[in-house]
Amino acid sequence: MNDGAGEAAAGAAVRETILVVEGGEFTRHRLKAALRARGREVFLAESGKEALGALHQIAPDLIFVSLELSDLPGVRAVDVFLQRAPGVPVIAMTEGPAVQGAVEALRHGAADYVGLQEDRTRLLEATVRALQEARSNRELRKVRQDVRDQYGFNQLLTQSPRMLDVFDQIRAVAQTDATVLILGETGTGKELVSRAIHERSRRKDEPFISVNCGAFTESLLESELFGHEKGSFTGAVGRREGLFEMADGGTLFLDELGETSLNVQVNLLRVLEEMTFRRVGGRDSVRVNVRIVAATNVNLEQSVKEGKFRQDLFFRLSVFPIALPPLRERREDIPLLMRHFLDEIAEEYKMDAPVVAAEAMDTILSYRWPGNVRQLRAMCERWVITRSGQRLEREHLPSNMTGDQDVGAAMGSLHIDDLLSMKDNTLRVVQQMERAYLFQILKRHNGHLGRTANAAGITRRTLYTKMKQYGLEAGDFR
């Protein structure tokens, strides 16, 4: 086993380790020289047996394995290393344009493949992508564990200081019966926070009832909350308990409370103060013991000024306000949440999660996310369906996400590596532009190779070569 201590990159926090398993001595050392950038440590093995024997000691972050090993031929090598090093990405290497073997390796779980005759740029791009993916998976596991161990939260994932402060507020108020008002834009996770409060309270074994107040008319909402007596209105064929009675002993979550009418607000204030109410059409008072958690995306102070919300109810609700930051103010959570959602949805649908390209992630991070975490999850669901097991490139993002980029953001989306020469970076940018151009032309001509080649001013042979180079399939555009 030969090791190569890479030159430590300035300020590098983590020294990443790569294992290269390749039978050819010259090729091994050529790969080692190419991969040592950024302070990486590169270990070399000439056979599968040698690599597997040292796997535990090395603990690699990434494995390059040849599909031409004498003792582990073909995709069997991918299977063995994925099994023996779970969670570590494996990149398959082929001597020539063995496309079939490479595709088979991807089907068996390889993160990527590279041809050993390809230029250095392709090798480095595959390395950066795989290490980013491994780093993202490690961070997700760590945050999940930290959040579970330190805060006891399973559904709320974050590494944002503002959200960690919200966790502290939840823990502080959960053991009391204080009324909580959760403030935040649509999709920021208000119901998740309300459930977290209930699950940490003395009422955790009692009912948790949730109602969206904005989904009902005034009369229907009163019946939903307080119940009704037989004959109180057309269709009331019997007595019906309301949500306050159903939640007795537990927690009632009133979502979108800012959408309620002034009449409903009067009745809510009475319940909050006395814990008694009358069913619609009823005369007898019903007493309950319910903890109220309310939420709204409306500015209630402004609604009070405009006469749309009762000031006394606002004061009664504001015993313990919790403000949730929008996703655009906790951008450090976006990669973490994306990885969580992509994995969760892929498992649910029995599909493979897509690999997010660096340029796509740059655009995703710069987007404002008006629908917040709910919108992000919905987009992840779309990406699992449309790009299962494939790379998610910037051109696969919706136009409303890519169309508002200013010049600075567009320049920032170029994948520039300041450790490479200007010539190598220029080649990378040209390749990015070529791929984006061919993608648009193929899309315009529905994957018809003849018309696409004519429109691009190149021969069909050149078009086919470029499509193969950039992983474009005509069938994807038909």
Span 419-453, pLDDT tens digits:
557 776 677 677 777 887 888 888 888 778 878 88
Measured between alpha carbons, how far is 65 from 77 in angstroms, rounded to an integer? 7
Half-sphere exposure of 264 (CA within 13 A, CB side): 21
Q: What is the pLDDT of residue 111?
A: 81
How high is the pLDDT of residue 180?
96
Query: For the chain, which residues make up each domain, given as ranges?
Result: 2-143, 161-324, 329-420, 421-478
pLDDT at 206: 94
Angle at 3 between CA 30 and CA 14, to 5 degrees: 100
What string of DSSP letters covers 192-218? HHHHHHHHTSTTTTS-EEEEEGGGS-H
- The secondary structure of residue 183, as a DSSP letter, is E
Q: Quick check: do 329-420 and 421-478 share a fold?
A: no
The CA distance from 170 to 232, in Å, is 40
For the structural domain made of 2-143, what CATH number should be given? 3.40.50.2300
Q: 421-478 has which CATH code?
A: 1.10.10
The answer to whether the beta carbons of residues 185 and 358 sit under 8 Å apart is no
Fold of 161-324: Rossmann fold (3.40.50)
User: How confident is the model at residue 476, as a pLDDT?
Assistant: 66
What pLDDT is recorded for position 420?
A: 58
Distance of CA 340 to the CA centre of its chain: 5
Half-sphere exposure (Cβ direction) of 406: Cα atoms closer than 13 Å? 2
Q: What is the pLDDT of residues 121-149, one digit of tens each?
A: 878 888 888 887 777 767 666 655 655 54
Q: What is the CATH number of domain 329-420?
A: 1.10.8.60
Separation between Cα atoms, residue 258 and residue 212, nearest integer Å: 11
Return the structure tokens found at 110: 């390889």
In which residue are the tokens 């319940």 written? 271
- pLDDT-flagged residues of the chain (< 50): 2-13, 149-152, 404-413
